[in-house]
Amino acid sequence: MRRLKYILGIAVCLTLTQCKEDFLDAKSPSSVDDEFVTNTPAETFKILSWGYANYRQNSIMGTYRWNDPIGSDAETYPEDNSSNNLNAILKPELLTIDAVAGGFNGLYATIARAAKAASLIAEKPAYKEDVAAGRTSDWTQLYGEAITMRSFCYYELVKHFGDVPYGYENTLIDEYSLTSRFVIYDNLIEDLKRVEPLMYKIGEGGITAERFSRTFCNALIGQVALASGGYQTIRTDMPDLYGSVAFTKKGNEVNKSVYARRTDYITYYQTAKTYLQKAIDNKGTSGLITADTRTVANNPFQRHFQYAHDLQVSPESVFEIGNYQVGQTLTNGEYPYAFGRPSDGGSANAAPTKVFGALRIVPTVYYGDYSNDDKRRDVSVAVTGSKGDGNEMMLSFVPGNKNTGGIATNKWDDNRMNPPFVTSQRNSGLNWPILRMADVILLLAEVKAELGESDAVDLVNQIRQRAYGNSTNNLTALSGQPLKDAILQERKLELLGEGTRRWDLIRSGTFAERAIAAQQELTTMINNLRNQGYHRFANGNEIPAYIWTKMVNLPNPLTFDPNPSNPALFPGWRGQYDYTKIPAVASKVVGTNHNLAIQGLFKYIAPGSAEAIALQAQGYVRTNWGIDIVTYESVYKRNLLSGITSAGDPPRYYWPIPSETIRQSKGKVTNGYGLPQP
């Protein structure tokens, strides 16, 4: 069976070990009995199997995976007055203190297991011999994998909670305190530097992108160094917390926190440069997909996402969290349900099943940021969803979920599976993507731009040449702030919906300014929709108040590359799988016209005009589009970073440290940034 060899050891591990439920529970520290480590790497790996599974099941999700993909100037949440996006809209003071206690404790449990595994492997004679000889082996890979797992989870904790307790795993303690994030970052970097030379690259030693590799370890060093050297919101209520680290501060102090960057950040950017380049040099069998050998499409960017739908690990992936379909132990397919192309289907045996669609794209990005010849646009943004009865339908800007809530991500779609999994929602088996090579390349470009190195442009152009299919749209010579802005924009277009934009904005020091700019652009668009029926963007695209649609029949109802001359094939990468081919749901398919033809999506057609009347004569129906954004203006403004009210506001993006951890710290751990206290 495809993927996730490490899942096979989970049942054994769970029957023989006890995992603590709460971080720093002095009565039951997380433990792995020494007998778990045998004389074979395969048996030893079962400890790490548990770690991978625990991260997937108990650490990663939180509230829609920490709100990472829905908390930027490009990505929002679809519902009205929901508490699910309080962190995403930058209003963390409204959260409950234990909002993500499960994820917090899950990360520490994974850390404890990984640290224990590393300590046991380190005592193995075979491991010591390999290290002394400078020889990469299964033992040195396992040790590096354990250290990388521990480091990755601490990196996630600091990103989402700020300064946290550090280094207490697998010890009985009476008290603990917060550790400066900068101390944690420094320790993680040194730990990872120590192990990466003796780890396997992707493709070596049976290591795929479903396990931590040297390739990923190199990239993680770069990411941690960037996090340490970039802008971030720090506490001002604990003057001794950051020791001798000096800062350049921006904007206002709010809730005893301020937006800042350490003054010696260049040192960390140099480290990031070295190790992001190492990730590319040590890519093994991974790399940027630049060709599409399929006969049905010619879009290498699209090809990367099809691998996931085929239940294969993409060659572009550096790390994915593996999943099985329903029926396997401790695994599911939450990612496409939460962040995929929406579906109104039922929870089970539908065509396809329900997709909530928690991640929506700000319409100004879809219409105004993408060039019309950018092959990423249709792959990244869905304007249609699935009814659940084998038919395509237009998404609606009425607030809600499933097929209401606005345009959505299109990178994960149950229709694209081969065949679609129709048994039950949330169990598709698609992997959870974490990092791909295009992200690494653009991170390196960002670092080089900050360091004033002109070849950053060449890295960006690698991505743009794939996006456009040629070099016509390559960036020319750029430097300074224009180059930094161009790279930030390219990351926005390339990685839309993948949970990176929020962190890019924070790190760049421009979060609040760009939030305000996005809010202003949204307001202008709404006013023009209200007053003239459409809004025209600088690239010539127009978002209209109304569009015209009708159902049609296509011989191949699942579409790929766009064809502007056929309104059922433009935009592309949509349509429906032919669910009559799946016996379990064939009876649920309604009608024979399964595809939606769309007119006027990018060009205003005035209601009552000759063109509109002609379309109606052809069977097209006037359909609400941008007018619903006008009607629900207050919802769209609330959901677009409404916690930022001025360009001087520090972004307060942290989740609260849970109440039990605070209570047991004897007053040494508190929540900052205006977050709730016990």
Over residues 548-590, the pLDDT tens digits come to: 999 999 999 999 999 999 999 999 999 999 999 999 999 999 9
CB 57 within 8 A of CB 110: no
530 is a domain residue: yes
Per-position DSSP letters for 638-663, written without gaps between them: HHTTTT--STTPPP--PPPPPHHHHH
Residue with tokens 């169990």: 427
Asked if residue 8 has pLDDT above 80, the reply is: no
Residue with tokens 């092959």: 375
pLDDT at position 335: 86
**Residue 552 in 3-state DSSP?**
strand
pLDDT at position 17: 28
**In a shared domain, residues 309 and 440:** yes
Burial 623-643 (b: 16+ CB within 10 A, else e): bbbbbbbbbbbebbebbbbeb
Q: How many angstroms separate the CA atoms of 509 and 651, rounded? A: 10
* Close Cβ partners of 10 (under 8 Å, ≥ 6 residues apart): 46, 49, 50, 53, 329, 330
365 is a domain residue: yes
CB atoms within 10 A of CB 183: 16
Q: How many angstroms separate the CA atoms of 344 and 386, rounded? A: 6
pLDDT at position 334: 83
**In a shared domain, residues 312 and 331:** no
Among the ranges given (21-30, 218-227, 310-319), the one the predictor scored with the smallest mean pLDDT: 21-30
Domain, as residue range, for 542: 323-430+526-634
CB atoms within 10 A of CB 266: 12
**In a shared domain, residues 372 and 288:** no
Last residue of a domain, one of 508, 539, 563: 508
**In a shared domain, residues 271 and 353:** no
Could you tell me which of 180, 498, 148 has the C-alpha nearest to residue 335? 498
**In a shared domain, residues 337 and 312:** no
**In a shared domain, residues 547 and 480:** no
496 is a domain residue: yes
Per-position DSSP letters for 246-269, written without gaps between them: -EEEEEEEETTEEEEEETTHHHHH
CB 312 within 8 A of CB 305: no
Largest alpha-carbon pair distance within the chain? 83
Could you tell me which of 490, 345, 500, 311 has the C-alpha nearest to residue 409? 500
- For 90, 96, 257, 519, the CA distances from 650, given in Å and listed in that order, are 10, 21, 7, 16
Cis preceding linkage at 352, omega within 30: yes
What whole-number percentage of the chain has pLDDT above 90? 87
**In a shared domain, residues 283 and 399:** no
Among the ranges given (60-69, 74-83, 315-324, 636-645), the one the predictor scored with the smallest mean pLDDT: 60-69
Q: How many angstroms separate the CA atoms of 174 and 165, rounded? A: 13
Q: How many angstroms separate the CA atoms of 535 and 204, rounded? A: 53
Residue 408 pLDDT grade (very low, low, confident, very high; cuts 50, 70, 90): very high
* Stronger pLDDT, 79 or 24, i.e. the higher one: 79
Residue with tokens 């652009």: 521
pLDDT at position 57: 85
Asked if residue 290 has pLDDT above 70, the reply is: yes
- For 158, 522, 662, the CA distances from 658, given in Å and listed in that order, are 14, 35, 7
Cis preceding linkage at 419, omega within 30: yes
Query: What mean pLDDT comes out for the span 424-446?
Result: 95
Consecutive H or E run containing 184: helix 181-195
**In a shared domain, residues 390 and 334:** yes
- For 225, 256, 298, the CA distances from 653, given in Å and listed in that order, are 20, 14, 39
CB 535 within 8 A of CB 625: no
pLDDT digits (tens, 9 = 90+) for 454-468: 899 999 999 999 999
105 is a domain residue: no
366 is a domain residue: yes
**In a shared domain, residues 330 and 402:** yes
Residue 14 pLDDT grade (very low, low, confident, very high; cuts 50, 70, 90): very low
Could you tell me which of 384, 435, 285, 334 has the C-alpha nearest to residue 596? 384
Q: How many angstroms separate the CA atoms of 154 and 182, rounded? A: 12
Could you tell me which of 379, 387, 373 has the C-alpha nearest to residue 416? 379
Return the structure tokens found at 301. 């960017």
314 is a domain residue: yes
Q: How many angstroms separate the CA atoms of 613 and 247, rounded? A: 63
Indicate the DSSP class of residue 285. T
pLDDT at position 331: 59
Tabulate helix, strand, coil % of the chain (nearest 5).
40, 10, 45
**In a shared domain, residues 247 and 360:** no
Residue 610 is which amino acid?
A
CATH number for the domain that contains residue 226: 1.25.40.900
Consecutive H or E run containing 596: strand 595-599
Query: What mean pLDDT comes out for the span 314-330?
Result: 81
Per-position DSSP letters for 192-250, written without gaps between them: HHHHGGGSPPTTSTT--TTS--HHHHHHHHHHHHHHHHS-EEEESS-TTTTTT--EEEE
Asked if residue 308 has pLDDT above 90, the reply is: yes
Q: How many angstroms separate the CA atoms of 272 and 625, rounded? A: 44
* Stronger pLDDT, 68 or 361, i.e. the higher one: 361
* Close Cβ partners of 312 (under 8 Å, ≥ 6 residues apart): 2
**In a shared domain, residues 379 and 331:** yes
| Total of domains in the chain | 2
65 is a domain residue: no
pLDDT at position 60: 80
Q: Over the chain, what is the mean pLDDT?
A: 92
Return the structure tokens found at 578. 């032919």
pLDDT at position 492: 98
455 is a domain residue: yes
- Helix intervals (H) in 32-180: 41-54, 101-122, 125-132, 138-161
Could you tell me which of 49, 60, 59 has the C-alpha nearest to residue 13? 49
Return the structure tokens found at 245. 């680290």
pLDDT at position 25: 34
**Residue 666 in 3-state DSSP?**
coil
**In a shared domain, residues 276 and 340:** no
Query: What mean pLDDT comes out for the span 617-637?
Result: 98
Q: How many angstroms separate the CA atoms of 206 and 202, rounded? A: 8
- For 273, 294, 305, 420, 532, the CA distances from 579, given in Å and listed in that order, are 48, 22, 21, 8, 41
pLDDT digits (tens, 9 = 90+) for 27-36: 333 444 555 5
| Residue 361 bridge partners (DSSP) | 75
pLDDT at position 61: 61
CB 346 within 8 A of CB 457: no
pLDDT digits (tens, 9 = 90+) for 141-157: 999 999 999 999 999 99
CB 420 within 8 A of CB 429: no
* Close Cβ partners of 199 (under 8 Å, ≥ 6 residues apart): 136, 140, 141, 144, 145, 148, 212, 213, 214, 217
CB 37 within 8 A of CB 43: yes
Asked if residue 91 has pLDDT above 70, the reply is: yes
Could you tell me which of 106, 135, 139 has the C-alpha nearest to residue 121? 139
Could you tell me which of 341, 376, 347 has the C-alpha nearest to residue 360? 341
Last residue of a domain, one of 474, 508, 542: 508
